[in-house]
Structure 1
Amino acid sequence: MIIVSNLILFPLATFVLGYYIVETVMKREEPIHSIKASWIRWAILTIIVVTFIPVLTHTFYIVNDFNAPFWSTYQTVLLSYRVGNVWLAVIALGALLIIASIRKVHPGFSLALMVVLFFVIGLTSHSAALSPVAGYMANMLHLLAIAFWIGTLFVTVFATKHFPWSWFISWFSPLAIISVAVLVGSGLFMMRTVTPEYVNSWVLPYGQLLLLKHLVFIPLLMFGVVHGFFLKKRVEQGKSPKRSFAIESGIALVILFITSIMIEQVPPHVVEHTIESNDPSSLFLLIKGVVSLPLTLAFQPIGLLFGSLAVTTLAYLFVVIRLQKGYWLSVFLTLCFVLFGYIALMGSVN
């Protein structure tokens, strides 16, 4: 249930943050998107509801395992456990956001509240548990970088004919570059903290998800590069890049879903110790048959073959995005790159 709540929570919170970014930066008299204020209020209410699921889950766990009374346990979880404190803070922030929306307060205020909301949600992360200060800050920078980049992208899916694409690209491109730089930097730091044995971690579900996330991130970055550096001239000619941005948003959503699932997986800080108390990845066992640590990455013929296919596919994807033709072909090429890259890496690990 907690995984389901995360699958709803992070995309919704990212979307709301992106909405307030666009509203703050691009306020116009004519409607530039079709997002209604009521949608945002319902999204905020949903965030409050789904962040309650971990509270309920912890409560039932204690009640069932220790035969404790429900109401006193619920109060203890709510007031004494971090997950309960986080939910109370989310209620307060959510209420302020809804009031601000109803009273039409400047969107910059709501944007600031959403940033605080992300900091609150991040208190329950694995990085915060393993490294209370540095790990927490790295995780928050990671989440906010994703949210600022991807959340703003989500809004473009609802762009109207009045959407000022040229101006949007002029300020969104620097924002995306900064977000990617922060994303990569904080990600590398968290890998040192949470997953220092990157290749070995592939034997565990967390490591497999992290590998898939990295593979999906590469085509997403390709879309971002093309949109940021090669699209402005076509936009100035009156051509709308809405469909291309929509595909980039869809790929970004996949990364959010993977991240949402990873949050509830056991982080492989020391893989040899983690696997003693946790099952290995079913996908890894299906491919390799057995777990034998440590793993070594040495490219075999199958790895070189599929690695070459992955690189070729990525180059072709660049051309397709650059020409803004074959939108579904770009989706197909993205899937092929992830598949070829995955086979290349898993076929080269022993």
Structure 2
Amino acid sequence: MIVLGTISEALLYLCFSLLTGSFLLYLVPSHYRPEINVPKGALMLATGGIAILSFVPILQLILHLYHDIGLGQTLQSVLFTFEVGKAWIFTYILSNILFVFIVWFDFRKKLYTFIGIIFIFILMLALGWASHASSLDQWRGFLVHTIHFAAVTLWVGILFVVSWFSKNQTNWLNFLKWFTPVAISCFLITAVTGLILMSFVIDFSDYANAWMLPYGQALLLKHLLIIPLLSYAFINSILIRIRIKRNNNFNPIPWTKVESLIVFLIFSATAVLGQQSPPHDIETSLASGPSKLFALLYQGNITREMNMVISFGLNSYILLILGILFVIFTVLSFIKKAPPLFSFIMGVLCVLSFYLTLMLSIQ
């Protein structure tokens, strides 16, 4: 069920991003964006995906509880008395309405596009209400999670749609003029709200200690993936602008596709976080055992009273230098006109190098 939950949550983020990016781009005048063509079937699939994929946490909860009072009673109890269940009922109904709306109306027309955005935003509110942060601090958690999720899907949704549904690269410079500040703003909002959400489940002073747990490992990998993401943001916002001015026929879409793949890896790491028990108390959480990945890399004895210290040695410095070189190669691969796939590999290797740098520095 953990694997199912991880996959479903990553796909759920993708569904929201596709819908948000599509409807927002259709609001933008055509001369400020590349020509896009998002099939109606793709939006229908994404809408249906929200209704189905958002049920997976409900299913996990039901399977965890039904042994005591039976399947039928548990299903009724979870759906009608738990906040997460009531939020899913609302999500399911609204998703069906949006599905019918997409089928019946031309969502490319400005009025219908605006109505579609309202539907999507209300679905985000339902997701925020059912979030773990909301269960810990109802209104503050709900508000912060909703802002965080909305900023991510706005930024990533636009990136995803122009990467995979653009018919050509026309008007790309006009597109970058407004999308670059939007992406920077969304990234800053995401970073601030992400730190607030992290503070709900872990003390910042325990950040390194949390690496002993599966939750901390997923959180670390998610944060490290931001490094190649920023590298591609630099490529796709600044270097591509220079390249297009020199060569009008240059196609930037393969490079935005690579950036969208890095984003999907971040979605996957976030989904893994959602399947792990948050380490409110690391010593108590360690009673269930440390992360298998951490136990594989850490050669010392793992105890509940451990307080990890980072101390760089020769191997750590070598890996750190390798990680920095891989970041440089990620950018240089664009400058030297290497295939985007090579750049993607460099980005993954930089994450791996920085990860091993930290893991092998633990004392």
Map 1:166-245 onto structure 2 (within 5 A). Answer: 166-196=173-203, 197-236=206-245, 237-238=247-248, 239-245=250-256
Gap change, CA 1:31 and 1:300, over 3 Å in 2: closer
- Please give the TM-score of this superposition, normalised by the length of structure 1: 0.92
Task: String of CA shifts for 1:51-87, please: whole Å, max 9, x gaps.
Answer: 22333333333322x143x333322221111221111
The structural deviation recorded for 1:163 is: 4.4
Structure 2 residue aligned with 1:115: 121
1:223 and 1:321 in contact (8 A); partners too: no
- Please give the TM-score of this superposition, normalised by the length of structure 2: 0.89
The structural deviation recorded for 1:123 is: 2.5
The structural deviation recorded for 1:268 is: 1.3
Structure 2 residue aligned with 1:54: 57
Give the letter aligned to residue 212 of structure 2.
Answer: V
Root-mean-square deviation (CA), in Å?
A: 2.1
Map 1:289-304 onto structure 2 (within 5 A). Answer: 289=299, 290-292=301-303, 293-304=306-317
Task: Tell me the secondary structure at the aligned position of residue 212 of structure 1.
Answer: helix
Structure 2 residue aligned with 1:146: 152
Unaligned 5+ residue runs, structure 2?
A: none
1:77 and 1:84 in contact (8 A); partners too: yes
The structural deviation recorded for 1:230 is: 2.5
In structure 2, how many angstroms separate the alpha carbons of the residues matched to 1:324 and 1:251? 20
In structure 2, how many angstroms separate the alpha carbons of the residues matched to 1:112 and 1:240? 33
In structure 2, how many angstroms separate the alpha carbons of the residues matched to 1:99 and 1:341? 47
2:333 and 2:343 in contact (8 A); partners too: yes
In structure 2, how many angstroms separate the alpha carbons of the residues matched to 1:304 and 1:133? 44
1:125 and 1:263 in contact (8 A); partners too: no
In structure 1, how many angstroms separate the alpha carbons of the residues matched to 2:195 and 2:278? 15
In structure 2, how many angstroms separate the alpha carbons of the residues matched to 1:189 and 1:117? 22
In structure 2, how many angstroms separate the alpha carbons of the residues matched to 1:256 and 1:124? 18
Gap change, CA 1:348 and 1:162, over 3 Å in 2: closer
Establish whether residue 103 from structure 1 lines up as the match of residue 109 from structure 2: no
Gap change, CA 1:31 and 1:335, over 3 Å in 2: closer
Give the letter aligned to residue 246 of structure 1.
Answer: K
The structural deviation recorded for 1:147 is: 1.2
2:35 and 2:170 in contact (8 A); partners too: yes
In structure 1, how many angstroms separate the alpha carbons of the residues matched to 2:56 and 2:201? 25
1:165 and 1:240 in contact (8 A); partners too: no
In structure 2, how many angstroms separate the alpha carbons of the residues matched to 1:295 and 1:162? 49
Structure 2 residue aligned with 1:14: 17
The structural deviation recorded for 1:180 is: 0.8
In structure 2, how many angstroms separate the alpha carbons of the residues matched to 1:100 and 1:269? 42
Give the letter aligned to residue 279 of structure 1.
Answer: G
In structure 1, how many angstroms separate the alpha carbons of the residues matched to 2:169 and 2:237? 20
Give the letter aligned to residue 141 of structure 1.
Answer: I
Establish whether residue 255 from structure 1 lines up as the match of residue 266 from structure 2: yes
The structural deviation recorded for 1:186 is: 1.3
Task: String of CA shifts for 1:125-165, please: whole Å, max 9, x gaps.
Answer: 33222332333322222222221121111112221026432
1:33 and 1:159 in contact (8 A); partners too: yes
Establish whether residue 282 from structure 1 lines up as the match of residue 292 from structure 2: yes
Query: What is the count of residue pairs matched by the alignment?
Result: 346
- Report the more deviating stretch, 191-200 or 131-140: 131-140
- Report the more deviating stretch, 42-51 or 332-341: 42-51
Task: Tell me the secondary structure at the aligned position of residue 133 of structure 1.
Answer: helix
Give the letter aligned to residue 255 of structure 2.
Answer: S
Gap change, CA 1:265 and 1:176, over 3 Å in 2: same
